[in-house]
């Protein structure tokens, strides 16, 4: 064991020093510029730790910024200028976000689709669904089925609009990209969009982007040993671009197959071609990320962005956070479909959130159309399912410096769920609702 035992985080918390985290930080920066050499990252991390051991006295607790300064220096001295530049840019971007967060309302947040938010708030106000107190009153008055109907109608009208916009451009379009952060409802929305467009005479060829993941051993990890599937660099963006370009020109390609059981990709497996009157349909977290389809002209692609932009105020005067809705949705879906318990999802969420702030949300305003996938009636349904869990996690992680994020989220969601009127019976929710993707009972075929 070396001299360094603890590190001071930006929040001021003191946490145990984890040498693996240095290697992961270097590897993540390398991956961002196309590097995949884990051994080199480990070797450079060893140098960083040697510099720290030499520089600091026994018992000294370095600040995370001091460690990052040394990482920059070691990268540059070893001739890794591109990786160092990426690391510096990442630090600058993170610092900028922290400054903006501390200023609150100094300027509009670029991660928010303001026009759509305003329309959604206007709708919520006109239906008395813009606060927990108001929805509680309507539920107590026996109006839950009516709330479901109003919410579903609002969502369906948005899909009608998106379908019409796609149809208008059908002659030049080669691909439709359905994008949005985790648990925004991409799978259901893609299926429902496809149903509409088929009725309009359009044919679709799906492209499963998950087959383009790099082998698991090439993925970066975080301090808790989690693999990061959330970053666009987990995908082979060069191969995706090559395939999209060839498909758009009418060529046949062979798409890879990714075996999630063993974390391995097999190249050139399944033939795929777009014929006349067919359009490629892509459901991906990263469909709006510029490098995802940089080879394809804008005229040939329609970009749809989804997010549950719920406009509902809690009793404390704060609006319910969209990320909290998506966290709950993913907890429910992961527990059913991925044998992943909800607590694991909570502990992993800081990673999901960090990645989407960098690589998904900044591009929301580049979409051709945005769909608000929130359902005001989802919050009362979540209370009986998960309130006890959030109460337990809040108590479990209070005061744990390594789990500050999990504690803050658990505490915030617990307050929200305690304030809402619970609804146990989900029978008024249609079988093809976007919410069925998460609570179960869908009549749609997701395979």
For 163-211, what is each residue's pLDDT tens digit? 999 999 998 999 999 999 999 999 999 999 999 999 999 999 999 999 9
Phi, psi of 279 (to 5 degrees): -130, 140
pLDDT at 447: 67
Q: Is residue 110 part of a domain?
A: no
pLDDT at 91: 77
Q: Is residue 325 part of a domain?
A: yes
Task: Say yes or no: 297 and 389 in one domain.
Answer: yes
Burial class (CB in 10 A: 0-12, 13-18, 19+), 91: middle
Burial class (CB in 10 A: 0-12, 13-18, 19+), 25: buried
Task: Say yes or no: 393 and 256 in one domain.
Answer: yes
* Mean pLDDT of the region 255-259: 95
Task: Say yes or no: 41 and 171 in one domain.
Answer: no
Find the distance separating the first CA and the last CA of the chain, reported in whole Å: 50
Task: Say yes or no: 212 and 346 in one domain.
Answer: yes
Asked whether residue 137 carries a pLDDT value surpassing 70, the answer given is yes
Asked whether residue 230 carries a pLDDT value surpassing 80, the answer given is no
pLDDT at 338: 65
Task: Identify the residue whose tokens are 């961002």.
Answer: 32
Between 99 and 241, residue with greater pLDDT: 241
Domain limits at 315? Answer: 115-439
Q: Which residues contact 283 (CB under 8 A, 6 or more apart)?
A: 178, 186, 187, 190, 206, 209
The secondary structure element, H or E, covering residue 178 is strand 175-179
Task: Say yes or no: 55 and 201 in one domain.
Answer: no
Percent of the chain at pLDDT exceeding 90: 63
Asked whether residue 224 carries a pLDDT value surpassing 80, the answer given is no
Q: Is residue 446 part of a domain?
A: no
pLDDT at 128: 97
Task: Say yes or no: 91 and 189 in one domain.
Answer: no
- Residue 395 has which token pair? 């108590």
* Mean pLDDT of the region 259-276: 93
Asked whether residue 1 carries a pLDDT value surpassing 70, the answer given is no
pLDDT at 54: 86
pLDDT at 105: 47
The residue from 103, 123, 157 where one domain ends is 103
Q: Is residue 109 part of a domain?
A: no
Torsion of CA 428, 429, 430, 434, to 10 degrees: 170
Domain count of the chain? 2
pLDDT at 350: 87
pLDDT at 103: 53
- Neighbouring CB atoms inside 10 A of 310's CB total 25
Least confident segment among 38-52, 245-259, 300-314, 412-426 = 38-52
Task: Say yes or no: 81 and 141 in one domain.
Answer: no
Strand arrangement, sheet containing 278-283: 203-207, 278-283, 175-179, 301-307, 369-372
* Mean pLDDT of the region 411-433: 98
Helix axes 144-168, 186-199, angle to 10 degrees: 60
Percent of the chain at pLDDT exceeding 70: 95
H-helix segments, 176-280: 186-199, 237-248
- Neighbouring CB atoms inside 10 A of 170's CB total 15
Quick one: pLDDT band at residue 225, thresholds 50, 70, 90? low
Task: Say yes or no: 60 and 153 in one domain.
Answer: no
Task: Say yes or no: 386 and 352 in one domain.
Answer: yes
Task: Say yes or no: 86 and 137 in one domain.
Answer: no
The Cα 380–Cα 160 span in angstroms is 27
Task: Say yes or no: 151 and 298 in one domain.
Answer: yes
pLDDT tens-digit series, residues 27-73: 878 877 777 788 888 888 888 888 888 888 888 888 888 888 888 88
pLDDT at 108: 57
Least confident segment among 10-24, 277-291, 400-414 = 10-24
* Mean pLDDT of the region 16-37: 81
Q: How far is CA 43 from the centre of its chain?
A: 31
Task: Say yes or no: 146 and 208 in one domain.
Answer: yes
Q: Is residue 1 part of a domain?
A: no
CB 309 within 8 A of CB 374: yes
Q: Is residue 16 part of a domain?
A: yes
Q: Is residue 445 part of a domain?
A: no
The Cα 377–Cα 374 span in angstroms is 9
CB 373 within 8 A of CB 305: no
Quick one: pLDDT band at residue 4, thresholds 50, 70, 90? confident
Opening angle at CA 178, ends 248 and 165, nearest 5: 80
The residue from 103, 138, 159 where one domain ends is 103
């Amino acid at each position: 064991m070396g001299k360094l035992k603890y590190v001071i985080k930006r929040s001021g918390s003191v946490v145990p020093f984890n040498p693996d985290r240095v290697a992961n930080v270097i590897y993540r920066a390398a991956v961002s510029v196309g590097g995949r050499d884990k051994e080199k990252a480990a070797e450079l991390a060893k140098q960083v730790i040697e510099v720290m051991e030499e520089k600091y006295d026994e018992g000294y607790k370095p600040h995370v910024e001091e460690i990052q300064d040394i990482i920059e220096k070691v990268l540059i001295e070893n001739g890794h200028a591109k990786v160092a530049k990426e690391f510096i840019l990442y630090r600058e971007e993170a610092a900028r976000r922290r400054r903006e967060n501390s200023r609150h309302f100094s300027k509009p947040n670029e991660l928010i689709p303001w026009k759509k938010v305003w329309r959604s708030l206007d709708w919520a106000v006109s239906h008395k669904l813009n606060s927990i107190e108001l929805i509680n009153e309507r539920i107590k008055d026996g109006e839950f089925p009516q709330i479901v109907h109003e919410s579903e109608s609002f969502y369906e009208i948005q899909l009608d609009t998106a379908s019409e916009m796609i149809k208008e451009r059908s002659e030049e379009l080669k691909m439709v990209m359905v994008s949005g952060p985790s648990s925004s409802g991409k799978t259901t929305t893609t299926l429902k969009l496809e149903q509409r467009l088929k009725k309009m005479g359009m044919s679709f060829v799906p492209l499963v982007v998950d087959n383009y993941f790099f082998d698991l051993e090439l993925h970066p990890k975080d301090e808790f040993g989690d693999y990061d599937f959330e970053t666009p660099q987990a995908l082979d963006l060069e191969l995706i671009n090559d395939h999209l370009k060839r498909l758009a020109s009418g060529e046949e390609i062979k798409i890879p197959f990714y075996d999630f059981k063993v974390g391995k990709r097999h190249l050139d497996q399944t033939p795929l071609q777009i014929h006349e009157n067919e359009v490629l349909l892509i459901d991906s977290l990263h469909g709006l990320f510029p490098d995802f389809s940089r080879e394809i002209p804008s005229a040939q692609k329609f970009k749809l962005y989804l997010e549950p932009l719920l406009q509902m105020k809690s009793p404390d005067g704060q609006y319910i956070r969209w990320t909290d809705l998506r966290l709950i949705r993913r907890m429910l879906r992961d527990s059913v479909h991925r044998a992943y318990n909800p607590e694991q999802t909570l502990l992993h969420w800081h990673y999901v959130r960090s990645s989407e702030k960098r690589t998904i949300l900044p591009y929301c305003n580049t979409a051709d159309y945005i769909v608000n996938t929130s359902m005001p009636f989802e919050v009362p349904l979540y209370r009986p399912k998960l309130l006890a869990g959030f109460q337990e996690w809040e108590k479990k992680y209070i005061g744990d410096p390594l789990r500050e994020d999990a504690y803050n989220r658990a505490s915030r969601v617990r307050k929200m769920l305690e304030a809402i009127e619970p609804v146990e019976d989900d029978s008024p929710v249609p079988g093809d609702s976007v919410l069925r993707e998460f609570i179960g009972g869908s009549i749609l075929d997701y395979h």
